[in-house]
Structure 1
């Protein structure tokens, strides 16, 4: 990210009366936090523009803010800002294709540069961290960071760093978090809301901890449609427990697979071995230590897990 890219971004925002902010499907705190944080900042900078945030809602993340519901006609003369989304097929709401111009802002490895402008910084902990840096560098300083902007960006950073436990947490990340806390945000309440689960989800987590398999430094579990039905939990809600395996002594990597009807979605995590290249072999990708993949049969899932074991023990 450099001043030329930021200048081009602001020039585009200046040129449009309608800005629509997108992010990826199955959103996490960073996707929603960066999206809504940027929306609030743009609204402050350009109060006469129409700024919307679109995409599906996730019940346990609604405390960050609400999505906008708008009709197709609004998209046709709009600028699309797509945040935290590595490749175009993962954009939540295909109406981004109706927009006149697309800008990508992301921190994932640049697999698919689908924007006319692509602002990508893989050294950032999160897209929320990138949005903070953009707001500092567009010539208006921290005046654009209101309390509402700060709370959105803070929870995005907290989410993608695993509450500052993951190795993507840098001194710059901590410095930014410290600055955001100066805006009188109730960070304890937000983190509690982010972590809070209903009784059904807690019982599902118990099932995961009792039934995951741990072999050769690798943990894995396959959540079938029958298990989802048994616990009356959605695939998206179940996926929030991907890190339940993380505290297992001796674990080096793990796979959390869920049958989502059209595909088996596999969330891959590692404590050191790079896994995004393996994910790319299975219709996915992501960060070196946190990636996603898609397989279409139990046999294919078994091959992926076998390769993960081989990778960990190479």
Structure 2
């Protein structure tokens, strides 16, 4: 599959790379990292990255303006996105050929070529393997591409604390570190917080609740977001704010948006992506997202989490 994708990249002059909405470090790392790799190998090609920008992660790179005409005869690659409703910029189907690269369970195998492998910690780790296998075609790492892929792996492994960090993950990461990018500067950018986020974190730590001694719950309303001048996407940085509380087996973060409630679920063991799938979402067994359309529905999700923990 890697070989087939590399042949398609060689074939097309215009390549447009997408990823999921409300991007995290892995979405951006895999998208921007793959784009950087292709640009370095094929400087004559037009390689574009699209989607809404996440203010806290713009230090990784910026998105680009792409016209509808650019999609004609273009290769489109979607990174780190399990299902089509979550793809950022809905023009991803307008190209001549579509490739899906993802490490989430393959619930929706969209695209003309599908490379999905949940054994990888992240899509960024998959792109590292893409480089390794593509060495015979001229693919190689640079400090710029290595930094981006490192960001994605760090994000989805929780700085190598989660159990999706395998020996192979660390071996591939070592290849990135060999490129001698500035790790100190990266972590400084990744963890810096605006004052408003620090104040919201204090509010979260004061107001989260624990249900049945095993499930942590935090509900942030539109009024809360307005009070702290924080966006719904920015609040996602705090999903693990109370994760270390003794006894918690799972926790859920509800954030009220314009016409829905965004749901972020995490777990220390119980499988939670099936619960997310029942509420317009999905993800990994221990890290998933969903959507609720009323506060009553959030109570249903909490009850299911309690049952899963029991």
Q: TM-score range by the shorter chain?
A: over 0.9
Aligned residues of 1:155 and 1:191 also touching (Cα < 8 A)? no
| Structure 1: stretches of 5+ with no match in the other structure | none
Q: Show the 5 A alignment for 1:214-253.
A: 214-216=210-212, 217-253=214-250
| Structure 2: stretches of 5+ with no match in the other structure | none
Instruction: Tell me the equivalent position of 1:146.
Output: 142
The whole-number CA distance in structure 1 between the counterparts of 2:135 and 2:226 is: 52
The whole-number CA distance in structure 1 between the counterparts of 2:254 and 2:98 is: 32
Instruction: Tell me the equivalent position of 1:287.
Output: 284
- Out of 166, 179, 185, the position equivalent to 1:183 is 179
**1:59 pairs with 2:32:** no
Instruction: Tell me the equivalent position of 2:299.
Output: 302
TM-score (norm 1): 0.96
- Out of 41, 44, 48, the position equivalent to 1:45 is 41
- Out of 257, 264, 272, the position equivalent to 2:254 is 257
The whole-number CA distance in structure 2 between the counterparts of 1:192 and 1:123 is: 29
Three-state SS of the structure 2 residue aligned to 1:144 is coil
Report deviation, 1:141: 7.5
Aligned residues of 1:222 and 1:258 also touching (Cα < 8 A)? yes
The whole-number CA distance in structure 2 between the counterparts of 1:8 and 1:92 is: 24
Instruction: Tell me the equivalent position of 2:4.
Output: 8
The whole-number CA distance in structure 1 between the counterparts of 2:290 and 2:109 is: 19
Report deviation, 1:262: 2.1
Aligned residues of 2:41 and 2:138 also touching (Cα < 8 A)? no
Instruction: Tell me the equivalent position of 1:269.
Output: 266
Number of residue pairs matched by the alignment: 309
Note the alpha carbon deviations across 1:80-116, whole angstroms, 9 max, x for none.
Answer: 0000000011111111121111100000001111111
Aligned residues of 2:196 and 2:230 also touching (Cα < 8 A)? yes
Moved over 4 A (4+): none
Report deviation, 1:215: 2.0
Instruction: Tell me the equivalent position of 1:93.
Output: 89
The whole-number CA distance in structure 2 between the counterparts of 1:200 and 1:171 is: 38
Report deviation, 1:142: 8.1
The range that moved more, 22-31 or 12-21, is: 12-21
Aligned residues of 1:135 and 1:141 also touching (Cα < 8 A)? no
